[in-house]
């Protein structure tokens, strides 16, 4: 068994060992290939990297990507210096522990927004930064939710709503509620068990979970966590190496996935500055060495995990996907009606109107606005039943779901809110979040005067202001750069008193 001191000797770019989960690995040759850059690995050269490694990599990562010959075997962890002790005692971490000790009871969370507010207080700063960050000035992220607030209801009265039923069908699967758990990366940043927590909650409430390519758990762990008849979909980042992609897709179909959601809005993963800022560590004396390098590896979790994604993916690839799977294919990240029409022509079964939670292109429009642009065109061409249209981004309330369905969406994807519920309260949190949505759905179906989702139509909405972007979103200029307009200040009394007195 290896000793800590032995591992610690291999602590440079030319000879780099790291410890993960009690085993040592020689990653010297792998360094240049690491999608997240060398820098982050070198930080742990000769040390235990488990805590950093864990949430970002599925457990089978090292087996898959590092040659067996580099697996050096078990380390006697008692002999390894625990570098992170200091962290636990840091003032920031102590304050966080206090906030955790004082966090509200789960029953005090009355809506999905509550979970976000609690999670913000109790999550680790870097984890919160990764989940909550978005592109550039985060304008699209906020717009995603705000757009729902420009849609108003025209409810029907005196409808018998003693019984309301908001179950529906998605890609042929009957679901209890018209939403699904959309794919989000790195679930272990928020909860030690990762995505399987969402699997269990989805099972309990009979909604579909979309499994992310970039999960912290391995794909099989997530599928294994499902119940017998539970339906899951696969979200796919397309690899530059199509063989890998094919392997992933075929495996997913074999394991029973019922839908293939190909992400099309992320040829390159977005720059999320909050995430980058949260990762920044003062280089100390080596300031000059790195100055000017804008593209070093420490650009936050998003950049670290994305270098394999193929920016060359195009419409020409769709038939190939058709050829390798019988799963329904859905394009995730469509952002204009022209591309929805192309999707129909391409013969896919569905589209998700989405801007990736505002994490890719800032000033992309909200999915719900694109939906309002799309459905009338589909209906005018008689295509509304040729393709299932989903939306995600900004959904927090049952009223948001109802708005999307009235406009013509088959269902909505919900991501961050469940992540936050999981991060703050674990499975019980996600369970309650879904239960609250169910309560809100029942209430609001009644109040809008609809007994089934078939009753939901555009006449129940007033969307005249949806396309209005007259309110200018603010960015940091407003807060940190523009001087406030001022009037002349008072003058020190001593200086002016005599003349002022004379004047009065």
Q: Catalogue the active-site residues.
A: 237, 265, 356
Nearer to a copy of itself, 38 or 173 (CB): 38
Q: C-alpha angle 417/228/193, rounded to 5°?
A: 40
Q: Whose Cβ is closer to a copy of itself: residue 144's or residue 182's?
A: 144
CA 295 to chain centre: 23
Q: Give min distance, CB of 250 to a copy of itself, in A.
A: 22
- Nearer of residues 333 and 415 to a copy of itself, judged by Cβ: 333
| Integer CA distances (angstroms), 458 to 371, 402, 406, in order | 12, 10, 5
Strand runs labelled E in 161-290 = 168-170, 173-175, 179-181, 209-211, 232-236, 260-263
Angle of helix 112-122 versus helix 91-101 axis, rounded to 10? 140
- What stretch of H or E contains 399? helix 398-407
CA 319 to CA 342: how far, in whole Å? 13
Least distance CB 246 / a copy of itself (angstroms): 18
- How far apart are CB 221 and a copy of itself at their closest, in Å? 23
What secondary structure does DSSP assign to 133-167, as a single string?
--STTSHHHHHHHHHHTT-EE----S---SS-B--
Q: What is the 3 state secondary structure string of 57-96? A: CCCCHHHHHCCHHHEEEEECHHHCCCCCHHHHHCHHHHHH
User: Please, what's the largest Cα pairwise distance for the chain?
Assistant: 95
Order of strands, sheet of 11-12, starting from the edge strand that comes earlier in the sequence? 11-12, 15-20, 23-26, 71-74
Q: Please, which residue, 57 or 396, has the CB nearer to a copy of itself? A: 396
Taking a C-beta distance cutoff of 8 angstroms, is the pair 391, 145 a contact?
no
Three-class secondary structure of residue 51 per DSSP: helix
Nearer to a copy of itself, 78 or 316 (CB): 316
Give dist(CA 252, CA 389) in Å, integer.
22
Kindly state the smallest distance separating residue 50's Cβ from a copy of itself, in Å: 19
Nearest distance in Å: CB 287, a copy of itself: 5
Integer Cα distance of 449 and 443 in angstroms: 10
In the complex, least distance from residue 194 CB atom to a copy of itself, rounded to whole angstroms: 17
Q: How far is the CB of 247 from a copy of itself (least distance, A)?
A: 22
Closer to a copy of itself by Cβ: residue 16 or 389: 389
Residue ranges of the alpha helices (H) in 408-492? 416-448, 476
The closest alpha carbon to 421, from 167, 106, 179, belongs to: 106
Cβ proximity to a copy of itself, 7 vs 364, nearer residue: 364
């Amino acid at each position: 068994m290896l000793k800590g001191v032995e591992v610690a000797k291999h602590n440079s770019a030319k000879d780099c060992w790291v410890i993960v989960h009690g085993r040592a690995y020689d990653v010297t040759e792998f360094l240049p290939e690491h999608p997240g850059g060398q820098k982050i690995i070198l930080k742990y050269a000769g040390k235990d990297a488990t805590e950093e490694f864990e949430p970002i990599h599925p457990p089978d990562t090292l087996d898959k990507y590092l040659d067996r010959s580099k697996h050096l075997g078990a380390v006697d962890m008692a002999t390894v210096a625990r570098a992170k002790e200091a962290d636990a005692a840091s003032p920031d971490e102590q304050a966080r522990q206090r906030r955790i000790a004082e966090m509200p009871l789960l029953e005090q969370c009355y809506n999905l927004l509550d979970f976000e507010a609690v999670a913000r207080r109790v999550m680790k700063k870097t984890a919160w930064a990764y989940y909550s960050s978005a592109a550039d000035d985060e304008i699209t992220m906020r717009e995603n939710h705000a757009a729902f607030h420009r849609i108003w209801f025209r409810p029907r009265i005196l409808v018998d709503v003693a019984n309301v039923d908001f179950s529906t069908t998605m890609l042929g699967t009957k679901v209890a509620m018209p939403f699904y758990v959309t794919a989000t990366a790195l679930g272990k940043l928020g909860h030690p068990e990762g995505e399987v927590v969402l699997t269990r909650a989805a099972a309990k409430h009979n909604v579909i979970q979309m499994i992310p390519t970039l999960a912290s758990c391995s794909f099989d762990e997530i599928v294994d966590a499902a119940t017998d008849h539970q339906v899951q979909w696969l979200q796919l980042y397309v690899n530059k190496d199509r063989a890998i992609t094919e392997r992933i897709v075929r495996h997913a179909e074999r394991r029973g996935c019922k839908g293939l959601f190909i992400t099309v809005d992320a040829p390159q993963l977005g720059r999320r500055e909050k995430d980058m800022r949260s990762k920044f560590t003062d280089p100390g004396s080596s300031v000059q060495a790195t100055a000017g390098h804008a593209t070093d590896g420490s650009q936050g979790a998003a950049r670290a995990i994305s270098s394999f994604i193929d920016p060359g993916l195009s419409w020409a690839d769709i038939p190939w996907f058709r050829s390798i799977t019988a799963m329904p294919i859905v394009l995730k990240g469509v952002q204009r009606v022209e591309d929805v029409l192309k999707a129909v022509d391409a013969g896919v079964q569905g589209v998700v109107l989405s801007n990736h939670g505002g994490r890719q292109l800032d000033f992309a429009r909200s999915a719900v606005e694109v939906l309002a642009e799309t459905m009338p065109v589909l209906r005018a061409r008689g295509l509304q039943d040729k393709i299932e249209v989903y939306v995600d981004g900004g959904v927090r309330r049952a009223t948001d779901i109802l708005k999307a369905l009235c406009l013509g969406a088959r269902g909505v994807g919900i991501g961050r809110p469940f992540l936050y519920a999981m991060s703050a309260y674990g499975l019980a949190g996600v369970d309650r979040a879904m239960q609250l949505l169910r309560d809100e759905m029942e209430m609001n179906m009644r109040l809008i005067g609809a007994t089934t989702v078939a009753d939901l139509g555009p006449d129940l909405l007033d969307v005249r202001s949806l396309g209005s972007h007259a309110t200018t979103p603010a960015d940091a200029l407003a807060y940190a750069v523009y001087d406030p307009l001022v009037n002349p200040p008072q003058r020190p009394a001593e200086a002016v008193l005599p003349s002022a007195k004379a004047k009065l």
